């Protein structure tokens, strides 16, 4: 059975995906279909698929039954999988914000927490991990009509809590390409926007943060379809994941052909966007013009 390595950044979401991948390999090695596996633990084929993709939590009884079905009899091997299950079922720090987080975004927060590298392209706003508190409040307020101020404050707290991954030892490398339009859109007013642009320049001093700008002067480009992120993980067992957020849902793509397509677009964006030095120049110019 393949050994699973758990790095320091492996959060419960990533561990759940690792566990699902391990169960899928065991099922395939045994020549069993998802339907046959589902019959053994009294569930549908679609649930087995979601379990193997790490999209749902797994119960101890179900995993134990699947290990028996797949012929895993060695007690040490079984104990390793069950230990992984225990870790995967532990709530992440974002659990206390579950009432604010839709299910489709909880998955992203968990993947973000476990990522070793995050590359993102943003069109409308400064990326959430790079936002000041005041800018974040303005963005969240604009999209939360009728929401109580107390809830808006908690949503801001959640966003700031997510940012802590960039400061922790061994945190992810974060590479952002931001459309110039997002930097010129006066979210929260001139003072808030100026502070946000200055904050971006400060963040660029961190060795794990790179910021590029897709300038107006370039015209059309390969990412006209909108914002997306590509996340890579330290554990080689985990595939890269492309995240594409929509109005009330999100796409998570991990098939090799999809990841390759988005990665190629990201490479082209980086090639034609500003260098880090040019990014500082354009930020200073926007501040001066406003």
Residue 251: is its pLDDT beyond 60? yes
Tens of pLDDT, residues 191-219: 999 999 999 999 999 999 999 999 987 76
Tens of pLDDT, residues 111-163: 999 899 999 999 999 999 999 999 999 999 998 888 999 999 999 999 999 99
Share of the chain above pLDDT 70, in %: 94
Instruction: Give residue 238's pLDDT.
Output: 80
- End-to-end CA distance of the chain, in Å? 60
Residue 6: is its pLDDT beyond 60? no
Contact 239, 254 (CB under 8 A): yes
Using pLDDT thresholds of 50, 70 and 90, give the confidence band for residue 263: very high
H or E stretch at 197:
helix 190-203
Instruction: Give residue 2's pLDDT.
Output: 43
Tens of pLDDT, residues 71-111: 999 999 999 999 999 988 888 888 899 899 888 898 899 89
Instruction: Give residue 223's pLDDT.
Output: 58
Residue 1: is its pLDDT beyond 60? no
Instruction: Give residue 83's pLDDT.
Output: 92
Q: Which token pair is 8?
A: 């320091």
| Average confidence (pLDDT) over 237-261 | 89
Q: What is the DSSP letter of 239?
A: P
Q: What is the DSSP letter of 284?
A: H
Q: Which token pair is 234?
A: 């330290």
Q: What is the DSSP letter of 56?
A: S
Residue 173, C-beta contacts closer than 8 angstroms, at least 6 positions apart: 116, 117, 118, 208, 209, 210
Which of 200-231 are b and which e, b meaning 16 or more Cβ less than 10 Å from the residue's Cβ?
Answer: beebbeeeebbbbbbbeeeeeeebeeebbbbb
Using pLDDT thresholds of 50, 70 and 90, give the confidence band for residue 5: very low
Alpha-carbon distance 153 to 32, whole Å? Answer: 50
Residue 201, C-beta contacts closer than 8 angstroms, at least 6 positions apart: 280, 283, 284
Residue 3: is its pLDDT beyond 50? no
Q: In a 3-state reduction of DSSP, which class is residue 187?
A: coil
Alpha-carbon distance 109 to 89, whole Å? Answer: 15
Residue 41: is its pLDDT beyond 60? yes
């Amino acid at each position: 059975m393949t050994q699973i390595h758990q790095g320091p950044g492996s959060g419960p979401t990533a561990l759940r995906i690792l566990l699902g991948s391990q169960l899928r390999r065991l099922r395939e090695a045994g020549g069993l279909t998802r339907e046959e596996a589902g019959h053994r633990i009294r569930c549908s084929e679609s649930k087995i698929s979601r379990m193997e993709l790490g999209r749902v939590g797994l119960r101890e009884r179900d995993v134990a039954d699947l290990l028996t079905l797949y012929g895993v009899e060695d007690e040490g091997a079984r104990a390793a999988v069950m230990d992984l299950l225990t870790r995967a079922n532990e709530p992440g720090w974002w659990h206390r914000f579950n009432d604010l987080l839709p299910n489709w975004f909880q998955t992203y927060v968990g993947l973000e927490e476990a990522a070793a590298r995050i590359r993102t392209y943003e069109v409308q706003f400064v990326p959430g991990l790079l936002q000041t508190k005041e800018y974040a409040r303005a963005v969240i307020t604009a999209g939360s009509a009728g929401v109580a101020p107390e809830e808006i404050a908690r949503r801001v707290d959640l966003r700031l809590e997510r940012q802590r991954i960039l400061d922790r030892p061994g945190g992810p490398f974060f590479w952002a390409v931001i459309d110039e339009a997002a930097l010129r859109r006066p979210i929260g007013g001139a003072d808030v926007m100026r502070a946000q642009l200055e904050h971006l320049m400060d963040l660029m001093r961190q060795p794990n943060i790179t910021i590029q700008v897709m300038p107006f002067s370039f015209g059309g480009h390969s990412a006209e379809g909108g914002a997306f992120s590509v996340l890579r993980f330290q554990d080689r067992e985990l595939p890269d994941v492309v995240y594409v957020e929509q109005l009330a849902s999100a796409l998570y793509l991990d098939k090799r052909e999809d990841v390759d397509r988005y990665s190629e677009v990201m490479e082209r964006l980086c090639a034609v966007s500003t260098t880090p030095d040019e990014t500082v120049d354009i930020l200073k110019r926007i501040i001066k013009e406003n």
